[in-house]
């Protein structure tokens, strides 16, 4: 017979009596089959609830959400549920009592519907990007099976990033510069050192609007040009410097033309070591320029390329 450790120093008779009392008590406390079934259901619900909470916690840690982002999303979701409850007739409220997954699943589905749809990269894009990275960067890699943003209702360009270049703008600049016949200027000798911060890195793909000039960053309501800080405050996802350089190099390779011949693409998805924002454009002499701007700078010539991720 096994005994509880804290009683191990007691006399054998006491141990035996204690064990007997325990089993008598257990017998008295036995539940009916119906009670046992109800208890099992309750335990199962609690386990599922705990699993959902744990999964949510793990997911948030995995994707690296910032604490402030999580808090803001939670508060917004809570306000939405609160508004729903104010409009919910009492007779219908019972439907949600004891069934929390009905609400959590509905909220999750509604939020997921706001995300861009995704697809497996088409075969022609696999061949296109495999060849580009092999020919231009000496990277042998197959993008077969890569999940990418789905096509939009308007024309877009797919930009595929390989992990070896996604946070190394200088490596991309060296290749891009050769295609420009050295008609090139950059504000720092080594862009990897000068611009170390990027919103995305790894092997992935984004889409941008298929236009040669970056769209106007303008607030119609307030009638003002937007700065990088304004774009961040609005939660816009904007191209990084490596993404813009890859896009510009591929565009020049395929179309024999430069992007942004009359405006400047501000790459607000990247920040340099001083917190400033890099940019890419073509000057009047046909020279590609990698420059930088303050996060507060805004004028009609400074534009953004929104990234669909």
Which comes out higher in pLDDT, residue 206 or 44? 206
Structural domain that includes position 298: 118-303
Instruction: Give the Cα separation of 234 and 7 in Å (integer).
Output: 64
- Which of helix, strand or coil describes residue 209? strand
* Domain count along the chain: 1
Domain for residue 125, yes or no? Answer: yes
Instruction: Give the Cα separation of 12 and 18 in Å (integer).
Output: 10
Q: Could you tell me the pLDDT band of residue 97, with boundaries at 50, 70 and 90?
A: confident
Domain for residue 46, yes or no? Answer: no
Instruction: Give the Cα separation of 113 and 116 in Å (integer).
Output: 8
Domain for residue 209, yes or no? Answer: yes
DSSP H helical ranges for 88-226:
90-93, 100-112, 123-137, 169-179, 191-194
For residues 269 and 238, the answer to whether their CB atoms sit within 8 Å is: yes
Which comes out higher in pLDDT, residue 5 or 178? 178
Tokens read off for 132: 């580009």
Q: Please list, in sequence order, all residues whose beta carbon lies within 8 angstroms of the beta carbon of residue 216, skipping any fewer than 6 positions away.
A: 300, 303
Q: pLDDT tens for residues 36-88?
A: 656 665 665 555 555 444 444 434 444 456 777 788 888 888 888 788 878 88
Give the H or E element holding residue 61.
helix 33-63
Nearest to 285 by CA among 306, 267, 258, 265: 258
Domain for residue 266, yes or no? Answer: yes
Q: Is 119 exposed, middle or buried (0-12, 13-18, 19+ CB in 10 A)?
A: exposed
Domain for residue 69, yes or no? Answer: no
Instruction: Give the Cα separation of 88 and 74 in Å (integer).
Output: 21
Q: pLDDT tens for residues 249-277?
A: 999 999 999 999 999 999 999 999 999 99
Domain for residue 225, yes or no? Answer: yes
Domain for residue 231, yes or no? Answer: yes
For residues 241 and 278, the answer to whether their CB atoms sit within 8 Å is: yes
User: Whole-model pTM?
Assistant: 0.70
């Amino acid at each position: 017979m096994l005994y509880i450790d804290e009683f191990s120093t007691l006399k054998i008779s006491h141990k035996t009596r204690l064990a007997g009392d325990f089993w008598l008590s257990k017998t008295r406390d036995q539940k009916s089959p119906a009670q046992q079934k109800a208890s099992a259901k309750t335990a199962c619900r609690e386990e599922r609830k705990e699993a959902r909470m744990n999964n949510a916690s793990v997911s948030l840690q995995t994707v690296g959400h910032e604490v402030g982002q999580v808090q803001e999303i939670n508060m917004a979701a809570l306000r939405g549920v609160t508004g729903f409850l104010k409009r919910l007739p009492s007779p219908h409220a019972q439907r949600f009592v004891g069934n929390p997954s009905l609400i959590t699943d509905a909220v999750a589905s509604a939020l997921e519907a706001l995300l861009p749809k995704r697809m497996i990269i088409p075969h022609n894009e696999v061949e296109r990007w495999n060849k580009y990275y092999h020919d231009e960067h000496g990277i042998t890699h197959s993008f077969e099976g890569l999940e990418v943003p789905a096509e939009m209702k308007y024309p877009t360009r797919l930009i595929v990033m390989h992990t070896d270049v996604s946070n190394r703008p200088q490596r991309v600049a060296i290749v891009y510069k050769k295609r420009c016949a050295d008609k090139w200027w950059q504000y720092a000798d080594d862009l990897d050192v000068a611009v170390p911060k990027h919103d995305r890195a790894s092997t992935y793909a984004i889409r941008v609007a298929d236009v040669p000039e970056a769209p106007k960053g303008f607030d119609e309501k307030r009638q003002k040009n937007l700065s990088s800080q304004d774009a961040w405050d609005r939660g816009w996802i904007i191209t990084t410097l490596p993404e813009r350089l890859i896009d510009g190099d591929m565009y020049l390779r395929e179309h024999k033309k430069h992007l942004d011949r009359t405006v400047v693409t501000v790459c607000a998805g990247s920040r340099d070591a001083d917190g400033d924002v890099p940019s890419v454009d073509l000057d009047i002499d046909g020279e590609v320029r990698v420059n930088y701007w303050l996060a507060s700078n805004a004028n009609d010539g400074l534009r953004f390329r929104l990234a669909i991720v």
